[in-house]
Amino acid sequence: MAKMERVCLDEVIGYFDELEDPRSSINQKHPLISVVIVALMAVLGGAGGPTGITRWALIKKEFLMQHLDLPHGIPCKDVFRRVLCLLKPDAFQHCFMSWLTALRAKAAKATGIDKPILAVDGKTVRRSHDRKKELGALHSVSVWASEFGLSLGQVACAEKSNEITAIPELLRLVDIHGTIITIDAMGTQKAIAEQIIDSKADYVLALKGNQETLHQAVIDYIDQQAKNDFADAQARRHITQEKGHGREEIRSYIQMPVPETLRGLELWKGLKSIGMATLVCARDGKETTETRYFISSLAVSVKMFAHAIRSHWGIENSCHWSLDMTYREDESRIREPHLRETFAWLNRFTLSLLKQHPGKDSIVMKRRACGWSEKFLLEVLVGATI
């Protein structure tokens, strides 16, 4: 058992070989890789900051001393804080890329999905602001592979309005070749659409007021075609119906080729289709209707179009919700810029690891089990039964 655990940790250690130590030589008492891996394991086990990491590590001292290079024992809280503050978030995140590539390949093989949906969306850690230092709350944009349960990258930005500049950087960070990128209306920009197409990917982009002319043109065309039930538009329709939790939801999707007369068509690289999604929700005798409009580089295939739209919400339901409810991320008061960004990434990456574990327990229970059982922690960490 001990030999197998050592081999497993050696594999994990290898992912961080190229991580440069940001500390001065006189402050390198504890090996950088050991500090980072202890932090990663502690976050898996429930830690939410440097104090929690240190407390967890002291409880697990015997286990950690046996399997990691810790010649001077367990680092103190200040060591964890200093290291995680000094590490540049982009360099730190880059070390996970080969690990993520392996996880992504394994998930693709297990699911049989060769054209995954990658949802791009932003999230704010609401209590991470510091008014005295004029530091706004951390807002970051991330990529979530909905079918795989993997967070593939994140880029921090000052506020939601800066997502327009953060999204291109994020798409350069992640391998998007052969995928379908879904983005809310904030990211519906001509340059972003072009970047996606140039990267050999496809897009499904939501429309709202930020692209007012295009938005209205799509609405007008669809409304016009609806008058004769889309007989002249080569449209395709897909309807789903779901019941549960005291409500009934009917979703209707319509997709059609983009008309050659659509205003501004030539400005949107790769644009092939337009569509709309209508949600009718009945609950407690009340009915609500919501309709949204989209542009896409996908040829007309309404089930694929519908799947992309539904999958986009996976970043809210499977990722953001878990970060807030399981990790209590929205309550975090970490306010050092690099430290809070590093923890945001550790949260997303460890959530991804927990979702890869085949056990049927909830994410909450799996995370608790990582704190309780060293064997289970290693299973989650290396993605294999030990």
Number of domains in the chain: 2
Question: What is the sign of the dihedral through the CA atoms of 310, 149, 351 and 166?
Answer: negative
Q: What is the pLDDT of residue 340?
A: 87
Give 76-83's long-range contacts (Cβ < 8 A, gap of 24+): 77/50, 77/51, 77/53, 78/50, 79/29, 79/30, 79/35, 80/35, 80/38, 80/39, 80/50, 80/53, 80/54, 81/50, 81/336, 81/339, 82/23, 82/27, 83/22, 83/23, 83/32, 83/35, 83/36, 83/39
Q: Are residues 366 and 249 in the same domain?
A: no
Q: Are residues 308 and 166 in the same domain?
A: yes
Res. 336 pLDDT band, cuts 50 70 90: confident
Q: pTM for the full model?
A: 0.91
- Report pLDDT digits (tens) over 235-259: 999 999 988 777 899 999 999 999 9
- Averaged pLDDT of the chain: 90
Answer yes or no: are the C-beta atoms of 149 and 113 closer than 8 Å: no
Helix (H, G, I), strand (E, B) or coil at 339: helix
Higher pLDDT, 177 or 330: 177
Residue 331, in any domain of the structure: no
180-183 and 202-207: which strand pairing? Answer: parallel
Over residues 77-96, the mean pLDDT reads 92
For residue 112, count other CB atoms closer than 10 A to its CB: 7
Q: Are residues 232 and 263 in the same domain?
A: yes
2-14 and 32-44 are packed helices; what angle lies between their axes, rounded to 10 degrees? 110
pLDDT tops 60 at residue 141: yes
How distant, in Å, are the alpha carbons of 46, 125, 189, 211 from that of 186? 33, 19, 8, 9
Residue 313, in any domain of the structure: yes
Res. 209 pLDDT band, cuts 50 70 90: confident
How distant, in Å, are the alpha carbons of 156, 206, 224 from that of 8? 32, 43, 61
- Report pLDDT digits (tens) over 154-169: 998 866 657 888 999 9
32-44 and 337-356 are packed helices; what angle lies between their axes, rounded to 10 degrees? 60
Q: Are residues 60 and 176 in the same domain?
A: no
Answer yes or no: are the C-beta atoms of 196 and 181 closer than 8 Å: yes
Q: Quote the domain boundaries for residue 201.
A: 98-321
Q: Are residues 108 and 83 in the same domain?
A: no
Given 321, 347, 371, which residue is the final one in a domain?
A: 321
Cα 45 off chain centre by: 20
Q: Are residues 168 and 214 in the same domain?
A: yes
Residue 327, in any domain of the structure: no
Q: What is the pLDDT of residue 161?
A: 59
- Report pLDDT digits (tens) over 3-58: 545 556 888 899 998 899 998 888 789 999 999 999 999 999 999 999 999 999 99
Residue 328, in any domain of the structure: no
- Report pLDDT digits (tens) over 253-303: 999 999 999 988 999 999 999 999 999 999 888 889 999 999 999 999 999
Q: What is the pLDDT of residue 134?
A: 62
- What is the percentage of the chain residues whose pLDDT exceeds 70? 93
Higher pLDDT, 25 or 225: 225
- Of 331, 343, 334, 323, nearest in space to 130 by CA: 334
Bridge partners, 205 (sequence order): 183, 295
Q: Residue 187's domain is classified under what CATH number?
A: 3.90.350
Structure tokens at 381: 């960490």
pLDDT tops 80 at residue 386: no
- Report pLDDT digits (tens) over 96-131: 998 999 999 999 999 999 899 999 998 887 766 666
Over residues 47-72, the mean pLDDT reads 94
Over residues 336-358, the mean pLDDT reads 92
Res. 233 pLDDT band, cuts 50 70 90: confident
pLDDT tops 70 at residue 359: yes
Residue 329, in any domain of the structure: no
d(CA 302, CA 239): 10
Q: Are residues 252 and 366 in the same domain?
A: no
Q: Are residues 258 and 117 in the same domain?
A: yes
d(CA 344, CA 140): 9
Q: What is the pLDDT of residue 4?
A: 47
Given 293, 321, 349, which residue is the final one in a domain?
A: 321
Q: Are residues 205 and 269 in the same domain?
A: yes
Residue 92, in any domain of the structure: no
Q: Are residues 146 and 210 in the same domain?
A: yes
d(CA 141, CA 162): 10
Q: Are residues 103 and 222 in the same domain?
A: yes
Q: What is the pLDDT of residue 291?
A: 94
For residue 62, count other CB atoms closer than 10 A to its CB: 9
Q: Are residues 249 and 377 in the same domain?
A: no
